Chains A and B, each alone.
Chain A
Amino acid sequence: MAPKFEIEDLNAWFGTKHVLKNINMKIEENAVTAIIGPSGCGKTTFIRCLNRMHEITPGARASGKVLFNGLDIYGDGVDPVMIRRKIGMVFQKPNPFPMMSIYDNVAAGLKLNGVKNKKIIDAAVRRSLELANLWDEVKNDLNKSGASLSGGQQQRLCIARALAVEPEVLLMDEPCSALDPIATAKIEALIRKLAENYTVVIVTHNMQQAARVSDYTAFLYLGELMEYGPTKQIFENPKHELTEKYITGKFG
């Protein structure tokens, strides 16, 4: 299987603060890759570099190569807007558009892409909500505000919104950190289901979650990639001493 992402010498800064240092890794297609590490190690910055969201923060910049399907997304003439339509993102806090209905929330990305055909939009909204395991809960309330849902439902709505434009990759930045255990379990089951057809990269501070949902795990420490490999190996037989200390809870 060809890797979805090939990352070569990725460095990232906020102003003068060097937050990612020479990251080299490959992310496999149709698999879940978890990024773990203590707070402030650059997990979030790393996935924000994968869809060029990092650069929208004032003073932030990145260097190096991120090959997506073989194309360097930091190359000359690459439009970040087009990249973001291929690589969806779900954030830490659920952020539905409160002024829009549930239906319009999911349809927002399609409308940005210029889709006007009502039938196509209807079908995509239903498909995305079903994929996000939310359809049965909201099918009678599609005209209600996106803000009327519970936190867990809002997060699944955000996942449906990202899926509606049929991206190839879904980046998730601690998607369960604001949710209760039941809502978390639903999202985790959803992530496993998505891995059949999508490449998922998930940042988590919860090591059990990484062990439960991911196929590959990367351990970041102080902006450096300490260890990367199949999740089973990282958790059962870590090569690096720091990795072992971190996953056994000796620091973090």
Chain B
Amino acid sequence: MKNSRKPSHFLCKLNTQYFSRLKWQIGGDNLFKIIGALFASSILLLLGLMVYELINGSWLSIQTFGSGFLIGTKWDPAISRVFGALPLILGTIVTSAIALLIGVPISLGISLALSEYMPKKFGFAISFLVELLAAVPSVIYGLWGIFVLIPFLRDHVYSRLQALFGFVPAFSGSIYGGGVLTGGIVLAIMIIPTVSSVMRDLFSAVPNSQREAMIALGATKWETVKTVISYARSGVIGAVILGLGRAVGETMAITMVIGNKFQVWPSSLFDAWYTMSAIIANELLEATYDLYVSALMNVALVLLFVTLVINILSRLIVWRTLKLVRGISKE
């Protein structure tokens, strides 16, 4: 046969070359569709396997401690072999909250400066740099935290804070350098690129006609900017929750600067504490018996659940706002 591509089926004698080529193309399309679907579904499969593996791994801990694991305040792998995750959960929540408290106003400022105040070209360069910050490996933030941030905060900031607000319990006690506040500050720096770039996208999507409407009413620049924020406000909340998701899941940097001390509540903001991610990173290799490993797996399960819920929630809010904002601007 001259043309080896031609199928040898007898019906194909009726087909012109055009038809057989069309057939081959459709075949290729379908093949690609199937391969694409396989790759896409592998993500779901991976997530499912991960959840299954975590539940499987923490089963022993779940059977032993039940829901008491979530409110237990003892972590004693050496003698009584009792595990409770409440201090870790609190540590994660509090450090993340500090990160939001510091990081969100700064991100809001950065994103408004980029979308509302700066000339476009300059803003583009700055937003490129901000997004570059998101690419810095977490361990480098940790190292920088240990060698630069901790000495700086200890010698120049914390002592002054204590001198000013020492009468408040949160600012009393001895200063080590590393601790709850330092952890929160490092997390804040790490969430700023994500939060500010999402916020910038939201503000840039606000149609110009809204700004002009305000300006024509005799609004000042700041009053116009407030309208822009209110236009995108639900998306801004989504961006904040997205940052929260990142802060909650962050491991390496926080492990390096928080001090890793298992206690229900720290004596002050300068005291050391622990988070869910940090204890897994620190103790998994030392876990010498099944229940210990299972307890760490249980912590991981709680962490995964919390980050998944936070991320899904924030994505939904951001998408909804972007859709709403772009929908109106298209009309």
Contact = CB atoms under 8 A, between A and B. Distances in A.
Interface of A: 51, 53, 56, 58, 81-85, 88-89, 91, 93, 95-99, 108-109, 112-113, 147, 158, 161-162, 165
A98 B227 CA distance: 11
Contacts of A53: 212, 215-216
A95 B213 contact: yes
Nearest to B324: A98
Top-9 shortest CB links A-B: A85-B218, A89-B216, A95-B209, A84-B218, A109-B217, A95-B213, A81-B218, A112-B219, A99-B230
Interface string B10-51: 000000000000000000000000000000000000000000
Interface string B200-213: 00000001011011
A97 B217 contact: no
9 contacts: A81-B218, A81-B219, A89-B216, A91-B216, A93-B331, A95-B212, A97-B210, A158-B213, A161-B213
B227 A97 contact: yes
Contacts of B218: 81-85, 109, 112-113, 165
Contacts of B136: none
Contacts of B209: 91, 93, 95
A149 B291 CA distance: 63
B220 A81 contact: yes
A83 B219 CA distance: 11
Most B CB contacts (10 A, CB to CB) among A51, A53, A99, A162 go to: A99
B213 A97 contact: yes
A104 to B, nearest CB: 10
A28 to B, nearest CB: 22
A82 B216 CA distance: 10
Contacts of A108: 214, 217
A53 B209 CA distance: 12
B283 interface: no
A156 to B, nearest CB: 15
Given A58-B120, A113-B218, A99 B213 contact: no
B233 interface: yes
Main secondary structure of the interface of B (DSSP, over half): helix
A84 B231 contact: no
Contacts of B290: none
Given A56-B215, A109-B217, A112-B218, A95 B210 contact: yes
Contacts of B210: 95, 97
Nearest to B217: A109
A158 B209 CA distance: 12
A85 B216 CA distance: 7
A9 to B, nearest CB: 25
Contact of B216 (A84, A93, A98): A84
Instruction: Tell me which of A81, A82, A113, A161 has the highest count of chain B C-beta atoms within 10 A of its own C-beta.
Output: A81
- Which residue, A83, A95, A161, has most C-beta atoms of chain B within 10 A? A95
Contacts of A109: 217-218
B66 interface: no
A98 B321 CA distance: 12
Contacts of B214: 108
Interface centre among B213, B216, B220, B231 (most CB of A within 10 A): B216
Contacts of B227: 97
A91 B213 contact: yes
A161 B215 contact: no
Interface string B100-126: 000000000000000000011000000
B228 to A, nearest CB: 11
A165 to B, nearest CB: 7
Contacts of A113: 218
B328 interface: yes
